A = this chain, B = another copy of it.
């Protein structure tokens, strides 16, 4: 087990009706005016917007809307949000939505604290010195962004999907009410399951040091994701399954399961970010294509852990059976496992391989993930 620092100051308010207290949480932090970030108008049609605006009004908190944030969120929208936040002199950002909305809110929060162009923070041209306080109401469980300090945004001009991370970007309070997630489609549930599993297995398989305690925690969370995804696909009204799915998704990327692990990296994310950047595929759908292909290429580097995965997660004997079981499970729940299902053909591979090179440099793994290696992995996913 390696040295580590664990620090996670986010308050999670988990469960039914927790969004009713959003006004109190903001008031407790002295907030007077928020930038209210959201995606589609679904939150207005389904009543959540009304609930939130009433609760804010009751506490005398003003809001400025920043709607229309899309999946695979883009830097142009973040720039718009930064300008709005500055113009209206908001003193916090409130995100209502899934990971894309929270990530945009984080980028806006950091952008307001920086005098130059916010993309500078993504390309390492400047560091995040300060950020507006962040609050979130989660409507889709997948990315874990509600309880971590990271954000991923795409620059449409340069076709780069890059990330930022700073302790200043931990949300102050995140409200995770599984009931608000009842409207998530079957497709997005499946993509979300793949995203959560990716967060868990990247560290689990690539870490040079990965203690058994942390392996057990990872396997516990994966078992729960498998079980609750299946339960929700057969009965979308199973709120208990939805709650466990949501908390599992949070725990998968809040620092818990990676504590004490070291020497790990995020190759599946590095490759997938290029699929999203170039073809705007859902992140989880891209990951469920990349993961089995990557596992088939990588497993020889960590045979003991792959055998453990096969045995502990799927109860099968060999590495090949374990990888096959995960791929079949992705097929079963309806998230893609082949590039063709994403509309990506062999002719597209050179552009993807090229785009991935910037990401793997960003993740510090360019020495392993050379163009040839990435091409081979992607080819096996055709």
> Contact residues of A with B, CB < 8 Å?
1-9, 11-18, 178, 211-213, 216-217, 219-221, 223-224, 227, 240, 243-244, 247-248, 251, 256, 259-260
B211 touches A244 (CB 8 A): yes
A259 touches B14 (CB 8 A): yes
Closest to A174 in B: B6
B-chain residues with CB within 8 Å of residue A178 when the two chains form the complex: 1
B8 touches A4 (CB 8 A): no
A243 touches B6 (CB 8 A): no
A224 touches B213 (CB 8 A): yes
Closest to A178 in B: B1
B-chain residues with CB within 8 Å of residue A240 when the two chains form the complex: 1, 211
A12 touches B7 (CB 8 A): yes
B9 touches A14 (CB 8 A): no
The 10 A-B pairs of least Cβ separation, nearest first, read A3-B15, A216-B220, A1-B243, A6-B12, A213-B224, A7-B11, A9-B9, A213-B244, A4-B14, A220-B220
B3 touches A16 (CB 8 A): yes
- Inter-chain pairs besides A14-B260, A247-B259, 8 sampled, C-beta below 8 Å: A1-B178, A1-B244, A2-B15, A4-B14, A213-B221, A213-B244, A216-B220, A247-B260
Closest to A7 in B: B11
B15 touches A11 (CB 8 A): no
Tell me how far the C-beta of A21 lies from the nearest C-beta in chain B, rounded to whole angstroms: 10
Task: Please name 24 pairs of A and B residues whose Cβ atoms are closer than 8 Å in the assembled complex, sorted by A.
Answer: A1-B15, A1-B243, A1-B247, A2-B15, A3-B16, A4-B14, A4-B15, A5-B12, A6-B11, A9-B9, A14-B259, A211-B240, A211-B243, A213-B221, A213-B224, A213-B244, A213-B247, A216-B220, A216-B221, A216-B224, A217-B217, A220-B220, A247-B259, A247-B260
User: Which residue of A8, A17, A248, A256 has the most chain B CB atoms within 10 A of its CB atom?
Assistant: A8
B7 touches A14 (CB 8 A): no
Closest to A243 in B: B1
Tell me how far the C-beta of A311 lies from the nearest C-beta in chain B, rounded to whole angstroms: 14
